[in-house]
Amino acid sequence: MNISLESDIKNLKGVGPKRAECYNKLSVHTVKDLIYHFPRGYIDLTSSTPIKDTIIGEVYAIAGRITKKLPPARIRKGMTLFKAVFTDDEEDLTITIYNSEYLFNSFSEGEPVVLYGKISGNLVRKEMSSPLVFKIGASNQMQPVYPITEGLTQALVRVTVKNALSLINNRIYEPMPKDILKRMGLCSLAYALYNIHFPPDEYSMQTAKKRLVFDELLTLGLGMLLLKGRNREKTPNKLYDQNISEFYKAIPFDLTSCQYRAVNECIEDMKKDRPMNRLLQGDVGSGKTVVAAAISYFVYKNKKQTALMAPTEILASQHYETLKGFLEPLGVRVGLLIGSVSAKERKKINEGIISGEIDVVIGTQTLYQQSVEFYDLALVITDEQHRFGVEQRASLSKKGENPHILVMSATPIPRTLALMIYGDLDISVLDELPRGRKKVITYAVTGKLRKRAFGFIKGELDKGRQAYIVCPMIEDNEQGLKSVKSYANELSQNEFSGYSLGLLHGKMKPKEKDNIMLRFKSGEISVLVSTTVVEVGVDVANATVILIENSERFGLSQLHQLRGRVGRGSESSYCILVTDNPTEDCKKRLKIMCRISDGFELSREDLKMRGPGDFFGSAQHGLPKLKIADMSEDIEILKKAQAEAKRIYESDPELLNPENKGLRSLIKELFERRSD
Ligand code: ADP
Ligand code: MG
């Protein structure tokens, strides 16, 4: 049978229907998928650790030999233990293999091997369970370790990949234009694909990796640029210069210089005959809402409509109140359209939107899902957009007639990364907080100090301030985490009896949530006990303290968002992070929170600690899943790939040159991968 890249893996030797299913679980369906199933790491057979230097619980490669194979022990039906003694001539180790007679028989007594695995046992007798066993003398010093699932072993995958590579090796098509390979000093794709799996040494592995990372980042960068171009067909919503100084006079504060700059950048965009496609990026509390208000006013002066979309009803209601406050005195008619308004009310608002009586409408995603018709929609603003992906961004422009788009995000990410993630957008940054803001003083405490923390909160309440208490769970659960309901009950009966408490969680009806938020905003409720629904965007300037239970459950960026609920006025504000049994890792994280208040700096730390998987998960950004590139580590390649992408895009915006044909198919593949 003639094997090609597109062949089903079932056609490979040793892959029957059952194993094929295991591979499918890893998203490996074709020979090509298998070849692009890259190792998650390598074992360097030349750097082995003596047994005496190993620590229990850590993973090592250890060179030595099997001295004695013990008779197999059948411990119960279907479970046989194979044990052997291994020595590095200084100390012994027991290895245990479960059930795999095949593996056990594949090495013999006295044969030199390298073991790889986690050390267990005790100080008297160290052990290694289910180690990987490599025969010494294998030509490669670097052994690949693959992501696998049950039913597959490292050895199996290795053999199958090797076989696949040898079957198609001389038929790997080179998609990259030659001059780029030359300029970037990159190896061929065929070399890269072989050496990413079976590098003879570290250098070959790095060379291969660099090539594959570059391919992926260039493809992504170029794809984003193409998207950007595609969304820029002409718009009938070209707007004209307006005097908006009355807006600046009407609001209760002066804009910061970066807020002015952002407003002007948007206005300049909207005066062009292609639609604006802009990201407004600013840390929590940097004042994005007023920028949205200012440009809605500009649109209003052009006699056109603006729609603002928020991720939750709470936020939509809040924006509604804020924008109404800024804009209604200037004659702008502002409307709110959320699921929880009555049918009658909704009908009225809908009519207002169609007839053009409403100038600015604020809502949740329902604004776009339902068949809301606009009279003359020129601007679409979405808030906290990290919850929307590339596709959603694209779908927004389908409302109205190619309207201008502004997305606002409070996820601070370094500029190089933003360029990649939001490559389809232009970027405005609010990099300065309004004057008079103070750093939120942050403490990390264990549960033992909870009582004192509550005392501190009461002190703030007695000064007329308000507080948030965040408790992550809704339901009681087996790990002993408290349900927010029983937790709030307890607080109101004990610690906070005599204070007015409100409860907010995601399972409440939108109307109930709104009601609680309004009562908190008005000051009627002084302590808001909540799940993370308060995470994004809620703005109550009189709240000066936030206590976060189980703070170990959050990443730095999320803690930062939560902390951003306070410190929004001119009073000193506090954040208390509570954990009951902090691990070392958690202590480290909380220390960083206490030290750093800048969102950008925190996101860099977050990246370092958690790795980009969490942060750049496609779920969050709607980006295609990357197989090998790591956007936080491969910064240098990222920059170069970005520059190359730009160069290619400028010289051949539709990728019609024959030499760019390969790139075109790479882009198609990458962006299609996202959908499965
Ligand atoms: P975010 O960027 O997190 O959405 P908001 O728009 O909610 O921030 O603004 C946070 C708070 O700062 C609001 O209470 C807002 O009224 C206030 N604010 C915004 N800009 C300024 C400014 N230039 N001077 C003083 N206060 C401001
Ligand atoms: Mg906001």
Q: What is the pLDDT of residues 183-225, one digit of tens each?
A: 999 999 999 999 999 998 889 999 999 999 999 999 988 988 8
Q: Tell me, using a 6 A CB cutoff, whether residue 541 lines ligand 1.
A: yes
CB atoms within 10 A of CB 546: 27
**Does residue 645 sit in helix, strand or coil?**
helix
CB 445 within 8 A of CB 453: yes
CB 61 within 8 A of CB 39: no
Task: Determine the distance separating the centroid of ligand 1 and the alpha carbon of 263, expressed in angstroms.
Answer: 14
Q: In ligand 1, which atom is closest to the CA atom of 284?
A: 3
> Which residue's CA is the closest to the ligand 1 atom numbered 16?
287
User: How far apart, in whole angstroms, are the C-alpha atoms of residue 537 and residue 410?
Assistant: 9
How many angstroms is it from 259 CA to the middle of ligand 2?
Answer: 14
Atom in ligand 1 nearest the alpha carbon of residue 539: 7
Contact 544, 566 (CB under 8 A): yes
Q: Could you give the domains of the chain?
A: 1-41+141-171 (1.10.150), 47-140 (2.40.50.140), 245-430 (3.40.50.300), 441-596 (3.40.50.300)
Does residue 251's CB lie within 6 angstroms of at least one atom of ligand 1?
Answer: no
Q: What is the average pLDDT score of the chain?
A: 86
DSSP 244: -
- For a ligand 1 pocket test, name from 324, 437, 539 the mutation site with the most ligand atoms within 8 angstroms of its C-beta: 539
- Residue 621: per-residue pLDDT: 52
Q: Ligand 1 center to residue 298 CA distance, Å?
A: 19
570 pocket-lining for ligand 1 (C-beta < 6 Å): no
Q: Show the CA angle centred on residue 232, arms to residues 227 and 237, nearest 5°.
A: 145
Nearest ligand to residue 314 Cα: 2
pLDDT in tens, 105-142: 888 888 888 888 899 988 788 999 888 888 776 556 78
Q: Is the pLDDT of residue 537 over 80?
A: no
Ligand nearest to the CA of 561: 1
Strand order of the β-sheet with 543-548 is: 441-446, 574-579, 543-548, 466-470, 527-530, 501-504
What is the DSSP annotation of 562-631? HHTTS--SSS--EEEEEESS--HHHHHHHHHHHH---HHHHHHHHHHHH-HHHHT-HHHH-PPPPSS--T
Q: How many CB atoms lie within 10 A of CB 111?
A: 13
Ligand 1 atom, smallest distance to 541 CA: 14
What residues contact 238, with CB distance under 8 A and at least 6 apart?
Answer: 270, 271, 272, 273
Look at residues 292, 365, 369, 371 and name the one whose alpha carbon lies nearest to residue 332.
292
Q: Which of 676, 675, 651, 671 is nearest to 221 (CA)?
A: 671
> Does pTM surpass 0.85?
no
* pLDDT score recorded for residue 476: 57
Alpha-carbon span 28 to 666, nearest angstrom: 18
* CA-closest candidate to residue 21, choices 121, 129, 151, 139: 151
H-state helical runs in 480-546: 484-493, 510-521
Burial class (CB in 10 A: 0-12, 13-18, 19+), 366: middle
Angle at 420 between CA 416 and CA 422, to 5 degrees: 110
410 lines ligand 1 (CB under 6 A): yes
Atom 17, ligand 1: residue with shortest CA distance: 287
Classify the C-alpha dihedral 593-596-597-603 as positive or negative. Answer: negative
Cα–Cα distance, 61 to 197 (Å, whole number):
19
**DSSP state, residue 442:** E
Among the atoms of ligand 1, which is closest to the Cα of residue 322? Answer: 16
Q: Quick one: which of 238, 245, 248 has its CA closest to 268?
A: 238
Q: Which ligand is located closest to the Cα atom of residue 293?
A: 1
Burial label, 338 (beta-carbon count in 10 A; 0-12, 13-18, 19+): buried
Q: Determine whether the shortest distance from the Cβ of 325 to ligand 1 is under 6 A.
A: no
Average pLDDT over residues 161-185: 90
| Residue 43 scores a pLDDT above 50 | yes
pLDDT given at position 478: 55
Mutate to test the pocket of ligand 1, among 247, 248, 253 (most ligand atoms within 8 A of CB): 253
Q: How is residue 288 written in tokens?
A: 């994005």
What DSSP character marks residue 364?
A: -
- Ligand 2 centre to CA of 228 (Å) is 25
Q: Whose CA is nearest to atom 9 of ligand 1?
A: 287
Nearest-atom number in ligand 1 for the CA of 383 is: 4
Assign 620 a pLDDT band (cuts: 50, 70, 90): very low
Q: Please give the distance, rounded to the nearest whole angstrom, from the Cα atom of residue 251 to the centre of ligand 1.
A: 11
Ligand 1 within 6 A of CB of 158:
no
Q: Residue 617 pLDDT more than 50?
A: no
Which region among 126-130, 185-189, 509-513, 578-582 has the lowest average model confidence (pLDDT)?
A: 509-513
- Tell whether ligand 1 has an atom less than 6 A from the beta carbon of residue 434: yes
pLDDT at 461 over 90: yes
Q: Is 285 in the pocket of ligand 1 (CB under 6 A)?
A: yes
Pocket test residue of 256, 279, 290 for ligand 1, highest count of atoms within 8 A of CB: 290
pLDDT of residue 392: 61
